[in-house]
Amino acid sequence: MDTITHPRPVERIVQGQATSDGAGVRLVRMLAQPLQRRLDPFLMLDAFGSDEPRDYLAGFPDHPHRGFETVTLMLAGRMRHRDSAGHEGLLEPGGVQWMTAGRGVVHSEMPEQAEGRMEGLQLWLNLPAADKMREPWYRDFRADEIPAATADGVRVRVIAGRALGTDGAVLRAVTDPLLLDLELAPGARFAQSLPAAHHAFVHVVRGSIEIAGRAAGARKMAILADAPSYDGVGLTAGADGARMLLAAARPLNEPIVQLGPFVMNTREQIEQAVDDFRRGALAN
Ligand code: CO
């Protein structure tokens, strides 16, 4: 495990906003437009989780995206993805879907179950201006395809980046994202070095953690301070253990203009996306 001498303090604990999206899926939006500049290049984080079919059955029927990537981590339940680029995949517990919308995809994400628990996270990762109109890309990783490592009560699944000497499933050059699905036994500690300029947060899925003297429970997001003197993050699980997503990445420092499912750099590019979508030219 990395040795940290100047751990990042918690700048702020964020409580998400209950909302619904798609055709009426209930979810908690942890990160939205007010935090996009602060957490650049992360654009959005949604947490969904319910045992009630009426909270998720409507799913996310066909809708467009342009200009960024979506990363979906399934924790419980099964969801089927289909998109206009011809990709199809079944997301199952522990699986991760990584979709680069680039210049445009129209896709659906629909539950493949009529009862039981459905739970997961979806994170939006911005693309650099030069890559916003690239070809779409898609990959889904089964749970056993995500590189994993363990150490002293810690199990880390490396979705992106590198941790405990293990390279992640996906690497991205410009933003260099680190995305870790972390599971800690009660009282276990985890430390990870982070480049000082990278924006970072921890979203707690279950249990509780302590970071630099601040506690965060389930469905709370801790935004970590960044300053040149900090060399990483250190955290400890509470009495019931914890599962969390640790995310960090290099900011793009480019203009962010979002209209719903389109995230570009200028108003004109957004108007172009809307126009392309209306005349059926977004995704071909
Ligand atoms: Co979508």
The secondary structure of 33-48 as a DSSP string is GGGTTTTTTEEEEEEE
Range of the domain at 93: 10-278
Q: Print pLDDT tens along the chain (284 aa).
A: 899 999 999 999 999 999 999 988 999 999 999 999 999 999 999 999 989 999 999 899 999 999 999 999 999 999 999 999 899 999 999 999 999 999 999 999 999 999 999 999 999 999 999 999 999 999 999 999 999 999 999 999 999 999 999 999 999 999 999 999 999 999 999 999 999 999 999 999 999 999 999 999 999 999 999 989 999 999 999 999 999 999 999 999 999 999 999 999 999 999 999 999 999 999 87
Q: Sign of the CA dihedral 55, 60, 65, 68?
A: positive
Q: Which residues pair with 243 in a beta bridge?
A: 183, 206
For 227, other C-beta atoms within 10 Å of its C-beta total: 11
- Residue 193 alpha carbon to ligand 1 centre in Å: 32
Distance 227 CA to ligand 1 centre (A): 34
Output the domain CATH number for residue 129: 2.60.120.10
Q: What is the model's pLDDT at position 47?
A: 96
Is there a domain that residue 144 lies in?
Answer: yes
Q: Given its phi and psi angles, is residue 243 left (phi above 0), alpha (psi -120 to 50 degrees) or beta?
A: beta
Query: Rounded to 5 degrees, what are φ and ψ at 34?
Result: -60, -20
Please indicate, yes or no, if residue 2 is contained in any of the structural domains: no
Q: Tell me how many domains the chain contains.
A: 1
In a domain, 120, yes or no: yes
- Tokens of residue 7, six digits: 């751990």
In a domain, 248, yes or no: yes
- Tokens (6 digits) for 232: 């990483």
Cα–ligand 1 centroid distance for 218 (angstroms): 24
> How many angstroms is it from 2 CA to the middle of ligand 1?
35
Q: How far is the CA of 16 from the centre of ligand 1 (A)?
A: 19
What is the 43 CA–ligand 1 centroid distance (Å)?
13
Q: What angle do CA 43, 76, 122 make, to 5 degrees?
A: 5
Residue 134 covered by a domain: yes
Ligand 1 geometric centre to CA of 28 (Å): 16
Q: How far is the CA of 84 from the centre of ligand 1 (A)?
A: 12
User: Is residue 4 assigned to a domain?
Assistant: no
Burial call 83-98: b when 16+ CB within 10 Å, e when fewer: bbbebebebeebbbbb
pTM, rounded to two decimals: 0.96
Whether 283 is in a domain gets the answer no
Residue 5 lies in a domain: no
Tell me, in angstroms, the distance from the centre of ligand 1 to residue 109's CA: 7
